Amino acid sequence: MHLAYPAVLSALLFCTGLYGVLARRNAILVLMSVELMLNAVNLNLVAFDVWLSKAARDTLHSGQALTLFTIAIAAAEIGIGLSIVLAVYRNRGTSAIDRLRDSAEGHESDGPEDDAPTTDQTGKAEASA
């Protein structure tokens, strides 16, 4: 098989994930896009590992080992990432990334005014649910 097939597919998947990371509003969707990027890398690693091990240049199977590590780390990342998103959601009542602008210059003017009511309202909503 030509190495170009998996390599190009991996590049396309990676860029799709990149688009998702940059364009999605919901933090969980961003996490999904991150998973896409990680998988693209995994595909690359596996393809090159197969190629290199067949060409007898590498007998350590480092590509596959690294893929396993990446999967494990991705799992850990998704766990931590989700709990962070949940914590943010609990505190701020939203998981929309572009509304978390505390680091903006002079955000005090708009931030608190719409934050406090949102928190309050979601709090009530969840309490009722």
Partner 1 sequence: MTTTTLAVLVPLLPFLGAVAGLLLGRTAPGFVRPLAVLPTLASFVLAVLVAVRQGGDQAVDAHTELTPTGSVPIELALHIDGFAALVAVLVGVVASCVQIYSAGYLRDDPRYPSYAALVSLFTSAMLLVVYSGDLIVLLVGWEIMGICSYFLVGHYWETPEARAASIKAFLVTKLGDVPFLIGLFALATDTGSFRITKVLGAVASGGLDHPTLIALLLLAGVAGKSAQFPLHTWLPDAMAGPTPVSALIHAATMVAAGVYFVARLLPVFEASSAAMVVLAVMAAVTMLGSGLAALAQDDIKRVLAYSTIGQLGYMTGALAVGDRGAAVFHLLSHGAFKALLFLAAGVIIHAAGTNSLAAMSRMSNLRDRVPDAFWTMTVALLALAAIPPFSGFFSKESVLGAAEHVATGHTEHAPGAAGWITLVAGLVTTALTAAYALRLWLLAFRGQGTEAPDHGRQPLTMTVVLWVLAVPSLALGGFAYRSLPDWFDGRDLAPTLTTSILGTGVALVGGIVTYAAWRHSTALAARVPLGAVAAHPEGDAGLVEAEAIATHAPAYGDVASAPDPADPGRLLLGPLHRHAAVGFHLDALYAALFVRPVLAGASLVRFLDREVVETYVRGAGALPRLLGAAVRRAQTGNVQTYVSALLAGTVVLAVAAVLVATGA
Partner 2 sequence: MSLAAAATVTAAPATNLAADTHGFLSPTGVEITFLLVGLVTFGAALVTVTTRQLVHAALWLVVTLGGLAVEYLLLTAEFIAWVQVLIYVGSVVVLLLFGLMLTRAPIGRSPDADSGNRWAALTVAVASAAALVWVVVDAFRATWIDLDGPAAGSTAVTGASLFQNWVLPFEALSVLLLAALVGAIVLSRKAKAESSSPPVNSRAGSGSSPSVPNSRNHPSGRKEPVAGTDPVAGTDPAEQEGAR
Does the protein bind partner 2 through residue 100 (CB under 8 A)? no
Does the protein bind partner 2 through residue 101 (CB under 8 A)? no
The item of partner 2, partner 1, none sharing an interface with residue 49, based on CB under 5 to 8 Å by kind, is partner 2
Torsion of CA 124, 125, 126, 128, to 10 degrees: 80
State the CB neighbour count (10 A cutoff) for residue 116: 11
Number of residues that bind partner 1 (CB under 8 A): 13
- Find the angle CA(62)-CA(65)-CA(71) to the nearest 5 degrees: 135
Site residues for partner 2, window 20-39 (CB under 8 A)?
Answer: 20-29, 31-33, 35-36, 39
The item of partner 2, partner 1, none sharing an interface with residue 104, based on CB under 5 to 8 Å by kind, is partner 1
Does the protein bind partner 2 through residue 90 (CB under 8 A)? yes
The item of partner 2, partner 1, none sharing an interface with residue 113, based on CB under 5 to 8 Å by kind, is partner 2
Between CA 81 and CA 92 the distance in angstroms is: 16
Site residues for partner 1, window 8-47 (CB under 8 A)?
Answer: 18, 21-23
Question: Going by C-beta distance under 8 Å and a sequence separation of 6 or more, which residues neighbour residue 102?
Answer: 111
The item of partner 2, partner 1, none sharing an interface with residue 75, based on CB under 5 to 8 Å by kind, is partner 2
* Residues listed for the chain: 129
Instruction: Find the farthest-apart pair of alpha carbons in the chain and give their distance in angstroms, rounded.
Output: 64
Query: Residue numbers of the site for partner 1 (CB under 8 A)?
Result: 18, 21-23, 97-98, 100-105, 107
